[in-house]
Structure formats: C-alpha cells, structure tokens
Amino acid sequence: MITVIDYGMGNLRSVEKAFEKLGHEAIVSRVPGAILAAGGVVLPGVGAFRQAVHNLHAFSLVSVIRECIGLGKPFLGICLGMQLLFEESEEFETTPGLGIIPGRVVKFSGPAFGSETNPSGLKIPHMGWNRLHKVQQAPLLEGVPEGAMMYFVHSYYAVPRDPSWIATTTDHGVEFCSSICRDNLSAMQCHPEKSGSVGLRILKNFADSVPSWN
C-alpha cells in the first residue's frame, strides 16, 4: 500500500490515479496511523512553501514524515514536496522546512531571466517540459534515458549542501538539482504524474520498491 499525504495542498488525486493506473494500490490520507502503516509514502505539493509548512504542523504530520523516513520506508517527495524536505526556503521570507536534507530552497534569478532590461529572458515560473541530466545512477531512474523530458512548474529550486544527494540536474538559466536520491528517500522537482510514459516509469520504479507485504 502507498499512502499519498494529504495536507491540503497539491495534486493528490492525480498522483493516486497514476499509481492505480500502474496496478498499485494507493490511498490519500492525513491520518498519521494510515501513513505510518503504509509500505511507501508520497509527499506531493503545489503552492506556497510557508502555507505548506503551516499545514503540515497543523495536521501533526511533521513527526510522522520524519518517522516514516527514519524507519526506512520508501519515500517520494514531488515538486513542493521535495522542497519541504530541505532546511529552509527563501520564498517570501525565510521559512524553516523539515530539515531532513541539508540545504535550502532559492528563487530562480540572474541575468538569464526576464526583466525590464532583458524582456526576452527566460520566464519565471519555469513551466513546461525540460530534460533530466543524470548525475548518478539511482533505482528511481532505472530505465529512464539520459535527457528524458519531464514536466515542471516552479519558481524556486532546492540547493543541497552536499552535492552527493543530487541524482539529476536540469537547465533553466542555471543548472539546478531536479531530483535527489539517497537510501529510501527520493524526491523530484518535476511532476512524474504529469510526464507521460517516462513519469509513469519513475512512479513504477518507486512503487516496485515498496514491500509487497504492505
């Protein structure tokens, strides 16, 4: 069983349906017991970092997430769900995250991006299809070709303090970390549930890592 964490933000049903399409049982829940009983856990998310952190605390889910990861359950963060795993985000004002991955979340900035002096620059948010460039082999990326196209929607990106966390990078004015993998913990800035056959392959890789007895 895979549990998709419901903390009031994100594309919960599309993630649930993607797993169901792959033949894996999935539920959406914010009940701590249901999350802790799951064989695998997914933290999705779309929206503002600060509100997401507030909701996770309000629903008493922060300690549950940390416990799931500490127990070695396969855990996947998606989009905002990836960013929340880091120590802090500079979105609006600096906001503490869950502190599971050392590093911070920063906004796209620099001369490559659109401004009054550079109106033809790259747009923020980074929205649409872009490529994954593999930095290391990871079980989540098995069968995913170098340069695979994935769907992104975000204005901020995570910067791990330790580069060995980085599984893929993507270029959008800067080369940013687009996924991380270490032990049972994986996360992606892109949306595999919206990324066609390649995204489904990634979700299948994750689901296949969930113990069959759950």
Q: Which pTM value belongs to this model?
A: 0.95
Angstrom CA distances, 70 to 3, 67, 147, 187, stand at: 16, 5, 32, 16
Domain that holds residue 94: 2-208
Domain annotation covers residue 26: yes
The three-state secondary structure class of 171 is: strand
- Any catalytic annotation for residue 191? yes
Pairing of strands 75-78, 185-188: parallel
Catalytic residue among 16, 88, 91, 193: 193
Query: What DSSP character marks residue 46?
Result: -
Three-state SS letters, 124-161:
CCEEEEEECEECCCCHHHCCCCCCCEEEEEECEEEEEC
- pLDDT under 50: residue ranges of the chain: 214
Q: The domain that contains 201 carries what CATH number?
A: 3.40.50.880
What pLDDT is recorded for position 92?
Answer: 84
Question: Which one of 24, 154, 172, 191 is the catalytic residue?
Answer: 191
Place of tokens 């330790």: 162
Catalytic residue, chosen from 68, 79, 177, 181, is 79
pLDDT on residue 191:
97
Domain count, the chain: 1
Residue 168 lies in a domain: yes
Per-residue pLDDT tens over the stretch 144-166: 999 999 999 999 999 999 999 99
Assigned domain for 213 exists: no
Assigned domain for 191 exists? yes
Residue 162 lies in a domain: yes
How far is the C-alpha of 194 from the C-alpha of 211, rounded, in Å? 25
Residue 214 resides in a domain: no
Nearest to 97 by CA among 28, 43, 165: 43
Q: Is residue 190 among the annotated active site residues? A: no
